[in-house]
Structure 1
């Protein structure tokens, strides 16, 4: 089993090196490639990415869905794994993804998130509240997938046409809602990714919870995620 890791990026010079360094230290025994899909950054993102990535694709500035789609189309391996530029990836991430995907009936998997730079409240929320919720949503076949930590089979990606590039948010849940119809979707808490809390710092708890709660309801109930998303750099 071989894996292509796709990372959309735009003006991420503060974070992307830590992400790419961690990805370069995976204990995964198969082949894997790192693809950075850059939306025409104006800072040093591309320069940094070229030190570590196997491919750096530069395209027009657009939605994050467009970035994920562009990177996915350039991938050469049978599993597409997704994360974001402001993450830190433990060395066993790809191995744990591969373990879940070893079951041929599984078409997708998502893992657990922990704060990279969070406080005790945020850490406890991610440890004790989010995992039961994620497990429940997968159990009822409505996976609430974090874009910074999921993977799908490339044949399934191709079958559904990939990401809806018009979406500004919720593109991760949207594509998995279509892919889950082709097989089994699972949650693997051992596939861990540490994520930046910069959005929490900028938005505050109320806005963060309100945005993602309403987005989940809109996506799973009506198939239409929110059309607003304030990007944080």
Structure 2
């Protein structure tokens, strides 16, 4: 009787595992790409309609540190943009040790649109956030665009596309389409594939359920009043400032995505540098989620509560999708082969091959509505991407997660240290306008 009971429990678990395996696979590999395809086709059929605002204008804020050799090129690329609105470019130098400030003074004299500023970051504060907050305090236009100093604008209308949802009154912030600058090595091309899926699939599927979670620091646009209302950027150096400002903007209104606003950013060329970058991103992201822990699962957070109920929980799955994929394949291999170890190995290998094929099919589907096809031409790297690159990143992110949790647990023993994450770090800094 007891043995029969265990058999019933085991049979129930097998059935539940099979149902979860099928449901998750359908959602992740079928519903997401098809929802992006249908929404993309509908978007392509829409005619562009610009609704001009009388006092519309754009303040581009460009934080920079030791950029004397590249900052003039960055400013010139902004000035070359075709944009319908008055433009000002606020370049904020931060703790540079080279001649960046001298170059900025020269640019300010040369171009009337350019304003040069400088700020000294306070100890224990994020330099980029301090620079952005200083730029926000100087901005005179109703729309702010953040650009990193190494960002290259992908089209002559990238700035106009970035601000359009805000000008039309449809959003308080816009996330843009970020890609890799001139990928030549295998590692860079793997990152190009990663960015293709991140921008054209993950982010566009977030749009479907109104849960965009991160406006990349490479290029993003905001309504100035909304930025000021939420207190600007959080300046704790252990927080992902671009993700944190995006989550705060959800409290003010809709966060839109415009895939036509394409920009390019530099990518790590060495595996060690890539691992360090993603480790830090994950560590800071975990602490950011801790700051907004009350919103996880909160049906009142974001439009219709979808950010809290769907966006944040699914972010966990997206972050560790390589581990999830391995788990799904392992469960599938077990259900197919039973107790035979040899058959399980063969089944796992077969499902891994199917995984690569399905990834290729998803790439083909999404590419039909992609605004940048960079990464698609490296389709031959998909086996390496799916079976090696993604698990490697998942492992790095796992260590970043542990490090972030350790910092939170360590600081939770002190209310003073814990308060650093919950308070708004937007106080005055040592600053001057050059």
Q: Bigger shift: 137-146 or 40-49?
A: 137-146
Structure (1 or 2) with the greater strand fraction = 1
Q: Work out which of the residue numbers 111, 114, 130 in structure 1 matches 2:179.
A: 114
Query: Which residue is 1:60 aligned to?
Result: 120
Gaps of 5+ in 2: 1-55, 109-113, 294-400, 408-434
Q: Which residue of 1 aligns with 2:388?
A: none
Structure 1 pair 50/134, CA: closer, same or farther in 2 (3 Å)?
A: farther
Alpha-carbon separation, structure 1, partners of 2:178 and 2:212: 18
| 1:69-148 superposed matches below 5 A | 69-90=133-154, 91-119=156-184, 120-138=189-207, 139-148=209-218
| Structure possessing the higher radius of gyration over alpha carbons | 2
For the residue of structure 1 that corresponds to 2:251, the secondary structure is: helix
Matched, 1:18 2:73: yes
Alignment CA distance shift 1:178-1:194 (3 Å) = same
TM-score of the aligned structures, taking structure 2 as reference length:
0.48
Indicate which of 60, 82, 104 corresponds to 1:49: 104
| SS of residue matched to 1:80 | strand
Q: Which structure is higher in helix share?
A: 2
2:221 alignment partner in structure 1: 151
How far, CA to CA, are the matches of 1:145 and 1:200 in structure 2? 24
Q: Is the 8 A contact 2:151 2:218 kept in 1?
A: yes
Kindly indicate whether structure 1 or structure 2 has the higher relative contact order, using CA contacts under 8 Å at least 6 residues apart: 1
- Give, in whole Å, the separation in 1 of the partners of 2:93 and 2:271: 23
Q: Once the 2 structures are TM-superposed, how far is the Cα of residue 140 of structure 1 from its aligned partner?
A: 4.7
Q: Which residue of 2 aligns with 1:205?
A: 274
Please give the secondary structure, in 2, of the residue aligned with 1:58. Answer: strand
How far is the alpha carbon of 1:89 from its aligned partner? 1.7
SS of 2:172's partner is strand
Contact 1:79 1:153 in 2 (8 A): yes
Offset, 1:118:
2.7
Q: Against the structure 1 CA distance between its residues 125 and 20, is the aligned structure 2 distance closer, same or farther, given a 3 Å change threshold?
A: same
Name 1:9's counterpart in structure 2.
Answer: 64
- The change in CA–CA distance for 1:202 and 1:128 in structure 2 (over 3 A counts) is closer
CA offset digits 1:102-126 (Å, max 9, x no partner):
3314100010111124333232322
SS of the residue 2:246 aligns to: helix
Q: Secondary structure at the match of 1:77?
A: coil
| Corresponding position: 1:220 with 2:322 | no
Q: Distance in 2 between matches of 1:31 and 1:202?
A: 42
Cα–Cα, structure 1 residues 75 and 202, in superposed 2: closer, same or farther, change >3 Å? farther
Query: Are residues 222 and 74 of structure 1, via their aligned partners in 2, closer, same or farther at CA, if it must alter by over 3 Å?
Result: closer
DSSP-derived class of the 1:161 partner = coil
Question: Which of 247, 251, 257 matches 1:177?
Answer: 247
TM-score scaled by structure 1?
0.85
Task: Supply the distance in 1 between the matched residues of 2:271 and 2:88 (Cα, whole angstroms).
Answer: 32
Q: 1:214 to 1:140 in 2, by over 3 A?
A: farther
Rounded to whole Å, the distance in 1 between the matches of 2:272 and 2:88 is 34
Query: Runs of 5+ in structure 1 lacking a partner?
Result: 228-233
Give the C-alpha shift of residue 142 in structure 1: 4.4
Q: Hey, what does 2:12 align to over in structure 1?
A: none
Query: What's the CA shift for 1:217?
Result: 4.0
Alignment length, in residue pairs? 226
- Given that 2:60 and 2:144 are in contact with CA atoms closer than 8 Å, whether structure 1 keeps it comes out as yes
